[in-house]
Amino acid sequence: METLLNALQNADRICKQANAHFEKAVQIEQQLESFAAQLKKAKTKWIIIGVVIWVVAGSIGSIFGGIPVLGKILQLVVSLASIAAGVYIGTNGYKKEKSSVEAQIRSIQGKAQEERNAAQQIFEANYEALSFLPDDYWYPMATSYLVKAIASKRVDNLGDALDRFDAQLHRWKVEEANANLLAQQQAQTAHLKSISTSSKVNAAANVANTVFNIASRL
């Protein structure tokens, strides 16, 4: 049982290391939530700027309205030019600001992906150490529970420990707070589905499939 406990403690350490990167990725991506509102405000701002330019320039054109014949032509020209200027300045101003925001979004997404890649590398590097444990238990809430179950001698083998955890898992799903944390940790391990080739593929695919099936029912 000591051998099993040591293996579980090591698996728990590995899963926590990987999970820390997954959590960091989620934290980074939370920054993206503000960008949608930022783009909406930018669009409104540049529409207003464009309209103001059109109105002000159009008002200047009205000065020529009192001049016979030529004045009407000048007024029309200024009016059309004001519309074109408003549209051009408003459109290009928004495009530039949108381009800047999108660059920030790509940067944030890149940083989040780096964290997920780091987590994946941890799983890949420690695959053999984790292989004794079914891959749909490769997350901290599962491994920590299994360590406690064996350490407390409530059970003396992995099969019974997994059965106990499955029963606890059902209870957690009923409790909203734990269900949310559980869904997050399980969804994070779904990133393993991107591992390609070798024996790791089957493990990763099983994790991804199980994770999404469980998370979708929460």
For residue range 191-212, list pLDDT tens digits in order.
565 554 344 434 443 443 343 3
pLDDT of residue 121: 92
**% of the chain with per-residue pLDDT over 70:** 76
pLDDT of residue 196: 44
pLDDT band at 179 (very low <50, low <70, confident <90, very high): low
pLDDT digits (tens, 9 = 90+) for 15-64: 999 999 999 998 998 888 888 888 889 989 988 988 888 888 777 766 66
Q: Could you give phi then psi for residue 47, rounded to 5 degrees?
A: -65, -45
pLDDT of residue 73: 73
At 174, list the tokens: 């009923």
pLDDT > 60? residue 87: yes
Asked whether the whole model's pTM tops 0.75, one would answer: no
**Distances, alpha carbon 59 to alpha carbons 50, 71, 87, 116, 132, in Å:** 14, 14, 16, 56, 79
**121: closest CA among 132, 109, 113, 131?**
113
The better pLDDT of the pair 188, 33 is held by: 33
Buried b (16+ CB within 10 A) or exposed e, 196-205: eeeebeebbe
CA dihedral over 94, 100, 101, 102, signed as positive or negative: positive
Write down the domain spans for the chain. Answer: 2-217
